[in-house]
Chains A and B, each alone.
Chain A
Amino acid sequence: MAQAPEGIVAAANATGVDVLIAEDSRIQAKMLQKRLLDAGHTVRWGENGALALALARERRPDIIVSDIEMPEMTGYEFCKAVKTDPALRTVPFILLSTLSDPIDIIRGLDAGADNYVTKPYEPDYLLGRMESLLATPLAAADDSGDAMLEVTLAGQKFRVRAGRQQVLNLLVSTFENAVSKNQELVVANQELSVARDDLQKSNEELTTLNAEISRINAHMVRDLKAAAKVQRSLLPADDVEIPATSIAWKYVPCQSLAGDFLNVFPLDDEHAGLFVVDVSGHGVPSSLMAVTVGRFLTPKVSDSSLLVRQATDGRVSVVPPAEVATQLNKIFQADEFSGLYFTLLYGVLHLPTGRFDYCSGGHPALVRVPASGGDVEFHTTESFPIAFVPDVEYSQSSLQLAPGDRLFLYSDGVPEAMDKDRNPYGDDAMAACIAASRAASIDVGVSTLLEAVENWCVPNGPLDDVSILGVEWRP
């Protein structure tokens, strides 16, 4: 239980004084009322100046605490009414003001207020002010209040009616308010200073973390670049030349690392191998699988090559495409962890005769453009993607090319390329595009198809890797 301030007790000659509150905010009033009741005072409350004035006339309070902004009758009007009422004029009057404008002081003076407490206030501070005000009661005979005072403020002259004691009280309270606000400012400043130190510390930590992220990022970028370089090694050599053929290819990964790759190379004096591989997904896992698959699809005789094998007599033979696919499927037994798989179209072209043996592992059909001028044809073998179904035997088919015939191998990024409304480019558009450039070189044919796909995907660009490999047989 809070002890009632000594001054108030002395002034009232009792445990508490009779306080009248004028306040339109119910919550503010209740809070103040509770604090005053706790301090042992009697409290009455009027919701505006008019109601409070009625209460004051009903029973003379020992002190009045009034808000300024209120409906019906403002705090100034209420104060003036009290101070011009002979029965009430000596009741100390405290105005609760935001004191945002110096004019407020003049208004308070004019209204005859004895004291200001700035809002928001600490209840203890208000109690202290009440105490000091009650300790220096206004002399009932102080009739100097009738004298007119002239005050100049902000270039404006004001004439106010105020007594000396009242002016003194009001100015002292204004000064005290200023001192109190100043102290609050000092405290706030100290808190701000602490907060600034904290901020600076956080900033330094952030800078450190940022540097760490940059470092890790640089590391990752370097690794990605290295990986992309490894991946480029899976693509046809710049100087690849195969007798009796014209070759062109395009490869556009949609991220820095791709799941697609393609190659074309001589297998021996009479055979050329060509393939397009599309590992499901994108990014690091897919590209790692692509690189691993690539190790097995090399024309160089080695332990890992599935494309050529060397007999004990040293003779090198070309492995049929279906066997290559079957072996790959054995090696990449369905990966239970990642769910990665790949599609493959691998073919072997017999250069002297134009016989093309090929095998598809769930890959989009290859396209033949007959030199005769006939319709573009789609060819495929029916089988599942690689690393999808364990222990599948893959089958192969053959095409007999005529001189000048062209073959196009590609990844699904071509026909499934989506425009902004997610319509696929489609097999028909692809076939039409390939047919339209049949009179031009194979280079132009491949470039034209890539351009068509990229135009289809404007403005988003392809969302999948795009691989195109074109071969023309010219014996």
Chain B
Amino acid sequence: MDQFRRIQTGKKGDIHLVLLKDKKILDDTVLDEIRTELTQLIGKASGPDMLLDFANVEFMSSAMLGLLGQLHRKITKGQGRLKMCGIRPEILTVFKITNLDKLFSIHKDAPTALATFT
């Protein structure tokens, strides 16, 4: 059932629900594994809807933003929607400094975010 090490996945309708398992996303190995697993999850599906939940994440390197950028481009290219939720204030700062809080669709928690997929 639990085929991934770094992410926990589920589905609500057509929306992929992805929970990042790690508390710390700091070193490159973890980052590469998350990237690989997300790629595996999306597979060849063109532009799926996805909700990425950061509730577990306490520390995150700015390199993670690059990964989110890749994911965002991939999903939006296929007319899909990527939304994020559960981001702690400390981590949200990183999004704000880089203005990426304006690029990404960021919501307080999963229910709030899910309500915006209409």
Contacts and interface: CB of A to CB of B under 8 A. Distances in A.
A282 B69 CA distance: 18
A453 to B, nearest CB: 17
Nearest to A336: B70
A339 B98 contact: no
A280 B100 CA distance: 14
A384 interface: yes
Given A281-B28, A334-B73, A424-B90, A343 B66 contact: no
A281 B63 contact: yes
Given A280-B65, A339-B63, A384 B70 contact: no
Interface residues of B, number: 21
A388 B100 contact: yes
A424 to B, nearest CB: 7
Contacts of B66: 280-281, 338-341, 388
Interface string B72-103: 01000000000000000010001001111011
A114 interface: no
Contacts of A422: 59
Interface in B16-73: 26, 28, 35, 59, 61-63, 65-67, 69-70, 73
A321 interface: no
Contacts of B98: 343, 362-363, 384-385, 388
B65 A385 contact: yes
Contacts of B103: 384, 388-389
Contacts of A384: 98-100, 103
A327 B95 CA distance: 23
B99 A382 contact: yes
B74 to A, nearest CB: 8
A280 to B, nearest CB: 4
Name the residue in B59, B94, B98, B102 with the highest tally of chain A Cβ atoms < 10 Å from its Cβ: B98
Contacts of A62: none
Contact of A362 (B35, B63, B70, B97): B97
A157 B69 CA distance: 92
Contacts of A280: 61-63, 65-66
Contacts of B70: 334, 336, 339
A362 B100 CA distance: 8
A412 B93 CA distance: 11
Interface residues of A, number: 27
A416 B60 CA distance: 11
Interface in A265-310: 280-283
A383 interface: yes
A364 interface: yes
B69 A339 contact: yes
Contacts of B59: 422
Interface string A375-391: 00000001111001110
A424 B88 CA distance: 14
Nearest to B74: A336
Interface in A332-385: 334, 336, 338-341, 343, 362-365, 382-385
Contacts of A390: 73
A463 B27 CA distance: 11
A382 B96 CA distance: 10
A236 B100 CA distance: 30
Nearest to B71: A339
Name the residue in B26, B35, B62 with the highest tally of chain A Cβ atoms < 10 Å from its Cβ: B62
B64 to A, nearest CB: 9
A362 B99 contact: yes
Contacts of B65: 280, 341, 385, 388
A416 B93 CA distance: 10
A281 B62 CA distance: 7
Nearest to A362: B98
Contacts of B61: 280-281
Contact of B97 (A283, A338, A340, A364): A364
Interface in A395-434: 412, 416, 422, 424
Nearest to A338: B66
B108 to A, nearest CB: 22
Contacts of A388: 65-66, 69, 98, 100, 103
Contacts of A382: 99, 102
Name the residue in A281, A283, A388, A463 with the highest tally of chain B Cβ atoms < 10 Å from its Cβ: A388
B106 to A, nearest CB: 14
Given A339-B63, A389-B103, 17 more contacts: A280-B62, A280-B63, A281-B61, A281-B63, A281-B66, A283-B28, A334-B70, A334-B73, A343-B98, A362-B97, A362-B99, A384-B103, A385-B65, A388-B100, A389-B69, A412-B62, A463-B26
Interface of B: 26, 28, 35, 59, 61-63, 65-67, 69-70, 73, 90, 94, 97-100, 102-103
